[in-house]
Amino acid sequence: METLVIGLFILGYLAITLEHNLKIDKLIPALAMMALMWAIIALGHLPVFDVNTELKQLDPTHLEEILLHHLGKTAEIIIFLLGAMTIVEIIDYFNGFLSIKKFIKTESKKGLLWIFGILAFILSAIIDNLTATIVLITILQKVIADRETRIWFAGLIIISANAGGSWSPIGDVTTTMLWIGKKVTTGQLIIHVLLPSLVCLILPIIVASFLPAFKGKINISEETDDTKTHKRGGTMLYLGLGSIVFVPIFKTITHLPPYVGMMLSLALVATFAEIFSKSKINITSLDSESDAHQTSSPVHKSLSKIELPSILFFLGILLAVAGLESLGMLFNFAEGLNQAIPNTDVVIGLLGFGSAVIDNVPLVAASMGMFSMTLDDPVWHLIAYSAGTGGSILIIGSAAGVVAMGMEKIDFFWYLKKIGGLALIGFLGGFLTFVLLRDYIL
């Protein structure tokens, strides 16, 4: 029966990896894989283990208790992400991100490269790398008219956004998983990963600065659409970003789970959004009057734009990995891997390369079940860096890359040929920096 569980997991994993070839959304195999794996565990009365008691074997009748434990941990991540996504959508409702365009004044391609790279690095650490990529490519489309020039910038934005997301607990789904899973703390994550991430940002930009694509100047395109900046756009931008940054501070002060702070931040941002939009709708109301005026509420509109397929994918993949963890398979695999490759750095480096091909969420979820290091062990910090930045090597290796691919119709092989090498230089440079810092300085 255990072989059947592993086989299901491998098939589901393959279907997720081949999402673009199969033309099937990855949430479908993730949910099916999760449900069938737990069904086999239940019907086969397979022995499960309590991860909180160092693999103390439990009676199969405790299966519901184990499943509820994993569901609770998964729900923490999902609720946190829902709050963050809603705040970002509220900012976008007021066209707050267009305020960023005022920082772009130069016509030099090299200057623009640095501006977009730094903006992507900073923004992704606050609003996550996926959203930062969407925002900056939207602005890029308003600044640079020539598509051939634009896709070069888009490629560097992907690298910069993934680098920025890896050192912040709220910058990437995988770092958020490690943070909420009590593998890393905010301060230690920043101390260990910020400098390697900066190297991962700076090296590709320096090399790219010498390429012909970034020589000379461009004509900054004028605003051609009817999109106008809301008079409260700037206020909502700073309020929204500030409220998200407040979450780690709230956790440090209260020691409550991060999703509690995120819900407080969402409540604050939603309150001001309702006031600024002059809406009198109670967002918890379900009566007919509220429904009739729903379109005038920024909170309602923002909630309707949340990417639920991604949320359901996280639910499926995290509970599927939890199934393997509860059976003790991940621990056994980790022991075998450590015997085959004694050097943990090499294993994590391979995980980074693997995240360029396979979604980094299940990879990090699996690593959390494989390794049993204590809180803030350097292994967790290196996993955060590798999983976050390794995905830049291929355009399909990260959510930022996939969304940029869709927005600018970037060809897979064009990216591999033109941008993949730059991403590899950044990844290896940052990886080496991390190892040197860990062994000789920190």
Element (H, E) at 199: helix 186-209
What is the pLDDT, as a whole number, of residue 144?
Answer: 85
Distance, CA of 56 to CA of 67 (rounded, Å): 16
Which position has the higher pLDDT, 412 or 55? 412
What is the CB neighbour count within 10 angstroms for residue 20? 12
AA identity, residue 323? G
**Mean pLDDT, rounded, for 209-238:** 74
Report the length, in residues, of the chain: 442
pLDDT band at 308 (very low <50, low <70, confident <90, very high): confident
* Residues 6 or more apart in contact with residue 408 via CB below 8 angstroms: 137, 147, 150, 151, 154
pLDDT band at 224 (very low <50, low <70, confident <90, very high): very low
Whether the Cβ atoms of residue 186 and residue 169 lie closer than 8 Å to each other: yes
Which position has the higher pLDDT, 31 or 21? 31
Distance, CA of 157 to CA of 118 (rounded, Å): 9
pLDDT band at 385 (very low <50, low <70, confident <90, very high): very high
* Residues 6 or more apart in contact with residue 20 via CB below 8 angstroms: 396
Q: For the stretch 371-385, what's the b/e string if a residue is b when 16 or more beta carbons lie within 10 angstroms of its beta carbon?
A: beeeebebbbbbbbb
The distance from CA 242 to its chain's CA centroid, rounded to whole angstroms, is 19
Distance, CA of 127 to CA of 387 (rounded, Å): 18
What is the per-residue pLDDT across 116-164, written as a single tens digit (0 to 9) for each?
Answer: 999 999 999 988 888 888 888 888 887 888 888 899 999 999 999 999 9
Which position has the higher pLDDT, 134 or 333? 134
* Residues 6 or more apart in contact with residue 132 via CB below 8 angstroms: 119, 120, 123, 124, 126, 161, 164, 165, 400
Distance between start and end Cα atoms, the chain = 46
- Range among 50-59, 388-397, 406-415, 421-430 with highest mean pLDDT value: 421-430
Which position has the higher pLDDT, 377 or 231? 377
217 beta partners: 108
Quote the tokens at residue 142: 């308003």
Lowest-pLDDT range, 68-72, 275-279, 299-303, 305-309? 275-279
